[in-house]
Amino acid sequence: MPGYLGLSRLTLAILRSHMKTSGDLLVIGAGGGNELISFAMEEWNITGIDSSPQMLELAEQRLSQIKPKSKIELLCDRFENFEKGKEFDAITSILVMHFLPDDGTKSNFLKKVFHHLREGATYIHVDVCRLPNASMDTIAEIAINYLITTGLVHNRDEAVKFLTNGSSGAYFSETTRMEEMFREAGFIQIQQFFQGLYYCGWMMKRGPLK
């Protein structure tokens, strides 16, 4: 993902700007532990949820190699089934929702995020998306060369296979459609803070109940 390190630092900076010490943070799609490792040195109460036991096991292994200041609870389940008897000060969802179709499933996901946030709390959302007025063929060509340039693959055939596998089962929405769904779910102060090829990141606030 182009700019992933910068995205991680930006996400942490946003959370630091909007969360108090000992605040409650929910990390959707926590498996692998990338976000958890980034957030673990803050004095937050972190709940991480992921549907893959293998990825959560990896996250636990990585966390065991550091001494987190955060209190971290990991749950193996789909977010759709998640129920917690409290509201969170912030929620992150990084590269999760593109696996859901835009048949009401994406909208329901966002409404559930809204439900689990305190009013005025921060939501950080990163997703793959279609850019209005942009040629996806051109962007795909850049992505191929990016993979080769960074050494993630050795040649064009490997790059095409990598991108094909990565986009399998993904449902791309245009950025304008994404922001429409955010507003429909009740979010306010929606701002895009990141873009790397077809990866886009937004920060927003939970508005009042309608």
Mean pLDDT by 10 residues, the chain (210 residues): 88 95 95 93 96 95 93 95 91 95 96 96 94 81 90 92 78 93 98 91 93
How far apart are the C-alpha atoms of 143 and 11, rounded to whole Å?
Answer: 23
Establish if 76 belongs to a structural domain.
yes
The strand pairing partners of 200, in sequence order, are 127, 195
Establish if 128 belongs to a structural domain.
yes
Residue 145, pLDDT score: 92
How far apart are the C-alpha atoms of 206 and 62, rounded to whole Å?
Answer: 32
Establish if 146 belongs to a structural domain.
no
Burial of 77 (0-12, 13-18, 19+ CB in 10 A): exposed
Establish if 145 belongs to a structural domain.
no
Residue 35, pLDDT score: 95
Q: How many domains does the chain have?
A: 1
- Domain extent, residue 22, equals 4-134+170-206
Residue 196, pLDDT score: 86
- Whichever domain contains 45, its CATH number is 3.40.50.150
Residue 75, pLDDT score: 96
Residue 77, pLDDT score: 95
Residue 174, pLDDT score: 92
Residue 136, pLDDT score: 78
Establish if 201 belongs to a structural domain.
yes
Establish if 25 belongs to a structural domain.
yes
Establish if 154 belongs to a structural domain.
no
Residue 138, pLDDT score: 87
How far apart are the C-alpha atoms of 95 and 154, rounded to whole Å?
Answer: 25
Establish if 164 belongs to a structural domain.
no
Q: Which residue has the tokens 């292994």?
A: 61
